């Protein structure tokens, strides 16, 4: 069964300059398939200039990293990134 990924209500909270200097551009919130609000995604710019999306995690007492939520497949992750980055690029172009 193909996973449907429809993101709406994409919201960005820009990072402060100090964090932007290290590649963290914004915190992102979205609505998934009209039924679930997801907050805490992070839009980053890598050293190669490529935009990527990070999903929220926490570290347990043993130092192990755990995702609060994450895409179920590589295809879904690419679709999340594609949709969110497209909105970010459109907004950036509108403010130039």
Number of domains the chain is built from: 1
Task: Evaluate whether 40 touches 56 at the Cβ level (below 8 Å).
Answer: yes
How, if at all, do strands 36-45 and 57-59 pair? unpaired
10-28 per-position pLDDT tens digit: 999 999 888 888 899 999 9
Q: What is the CATH number of the domain that holds 88?
A: 3.30.1120.40
Flag whether pLDDT at 93 surpasses 90. no
**Segment 27-47, tens digit of pLDDT:** 999 999 999 999 999 999 998
Q: How many residues does the chain have?
A: 96
**What pLDDT does residue 20 have?**
87
8 Å CB contact between 22 and 16: no
Domain containing residue 68:
7-94
Count Cβ atoms below 10 Å from residue 53 Cβ, excluding itself: 19
Question: Is the pTM for the entire model greater than 0.85?
Answer: no
With H, G, I as helix, E, B as strand and everything else as coil, classify residue 42: strand
Position 2 scores a pLDDT of 61
């Amino acid at each position: 069964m193909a996973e449907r990924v429809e993101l709406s209500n994409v919201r960005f909270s820009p990072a402060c300059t100090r964090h932007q200097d290290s590649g963290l551009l914004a915190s992102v919130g979205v609505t998934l398939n009209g039924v679930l609000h997801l907050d805490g995604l992070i839009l980053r710019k890598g050293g190669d200039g490529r935009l990527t999306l990070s999903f929220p995690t926490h570290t347990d007492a043993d130092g192990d990293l755990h995702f609060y939520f994450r895409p179920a497949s590589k295809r879904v992750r690419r679709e999340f990134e594609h949709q969110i980055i497209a909105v970010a690029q459109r907004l950036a172009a509108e403010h130039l």
